[in-house]
Amino acid sequence: MPIDSIVCFAGNDWWVHNPLTEKQWMGFLARNGWKVLFVNSIGVGFPGKGSPYVLRRLLRKLRSLSYWLRRDEDVWVLTPLLLPLWSLGIVRRANVFLITLQVRYAMKRAGMAPGIFWAGLPTAALLRHHLPHRASVYYVQDDYLSYSSFDHQGFMRLDEDHADMLKDTDVVICASIGLVDRESKIARRVEYVPQGINPVFLNHGLTADSAVPEKLRGISRPIIGYWGSLESLHDRDLVLALAKRNPDWSFVFFGRKMTDVSELEALPNVHYPGFLPIEDIPRHGVHFDVGLISFKQTDFTYYGAPIKFREYLALGLPVVAPPMVEVERAYEGEGLTARTVEEFTARIREAMETDSPERRRHRRELVAGQTWAASSEQVRGILESLHHVGRDI
């Protein structure tokens, strides 16, 4: 009997976050006849007092909770009521009971038979033995064990949950080459599925010769650019040192400022033009001379796979980043990495000196097939390969 239903404990929130990878994949499965229950993130802990915008996060979660169980785009979406203090034994047991009750009810409402149990974050390990399923998948999209180092999380037990999921699930899907290398040492089957690229970045009609948007007018070239939220991972010290060392370069950052960048804004060659809707990013980003990944150097970034790496390539941009396995190995020669300010300066200069229209076309071609549709098909193939595993648990 084929498996055609899935309960996805996602790492994100269907109602709050941008249309990220799990949402894309689950929506694809639903459109292709699968019964899908998308369980909004049950979290890994509780944001500590040093976590930026903790109140905003809580308000967003409350808004999502107000929907509780609702159908959207053929997907059943559940925001379960729970307590966030996962490391406390009594809370853990209460949460397992509460979430199991709500998920079983949602499965009944959706008319779902036991199918695939999908864990998009390690905390879901606690639910795996309490919900009926025929096969299990663990989606490792980040270096979960590094969360506490940058997001001020408290009350976590990630090591145990992560290890349990690696050892016991039928397949582990990893978002980066670095994670594949690491998790293959424990998991019995590991598949590499990079995140897909939003189609807005794959418009090859946009080039550096296109009209310069208003927000970039008056900013001198070369432009070392970045887009995305400026959170705690943003390496302000690196950017400050780079901008001072290279006053003839313009550093442009599009995104919401979720950390203090006042010292950077005081420099004449650093610009924060504000937030851009994703649809507007390509016509701005195509005018960058270099795409900069300005993340701090941590285990989280080293093993990570920032989607902006492929977005930069999709616009033809050369990329410079801190040490990251994905940038170094995914497309050999098209991602430059550096550790020190001196190395970053040299790599950025090298990227600009070796760039050309031909190189830009080549970069676009490298990622032209890395769409959400393509990665969704890959995931469907992996899930269908689990039919032979199928057993009621």
CA 31/CA 246 separation, integer angstroms: 50
Q: What share of the chain is helix, strand, coil (3-state, %, to 5)?
A: 40, 20, 40
Q: Express each pLDDT in 52-86 by its tens digit.
A: 455 555 565 566 667 789 999 899 999 999 887 77
pLDDT value of position 181 = 96
Biggest distance spanned by C-alpha atoms of the chain: 65
pLDDT value of position 169 = 96
Strand partners, 154: 46
Q: Which domains does the chain have, with CATH numbers?
A: 5-196+371-388 (3.40.50.2000), 199-367 (3.40.50.2000)
pLDDT value of position 55 = 54
pLDDT value of position 59 = 61
CB-CB contact of 127 with 98 (8 Å): no
Splitting the chain (393 residues) into consecutive groups of 10 residues, what average pLDDT does each group show?
88 77 95 96 63 54 74 94 81 92 97 96 92 96 76 62 94 97 96 94 86 95 94 92 98 92 94 94 97 94 93 97 97 94 98 96 95 96 86 64
pLDDT value of position 155 = 44
Q: Is residue 271 helix, strand or coil?
A: strand
Strand partners, 173: 139, 191
CA 35/CA 263 separation, integer angstroms: 51
CA 215/CA 159 separation, integer angstroms: 45
- Burial class from Cβ neighbours inside 10 Å (0-12, 13-18, 19+) for residue 22 reads buried
pLDDT value of position 60 = 59
DSSP state letter for 315: T
pLDDT value of position 144 = 87
pLDDT value of position 387 = 82
- Across 133-154, b (16+ Cβ under 10 Å) vs e yields bbbbbbbbbbbbbbbbebbbbb
pLDDT value of position 156 = 57
Place of tokens 């959706």: 110
Q: Express each pLDDT in 224-260 by its tens digit.
A: 999 998 888 899 999 999 999 999 999 999 998 888 8
pLDDT value of position 152 = 46
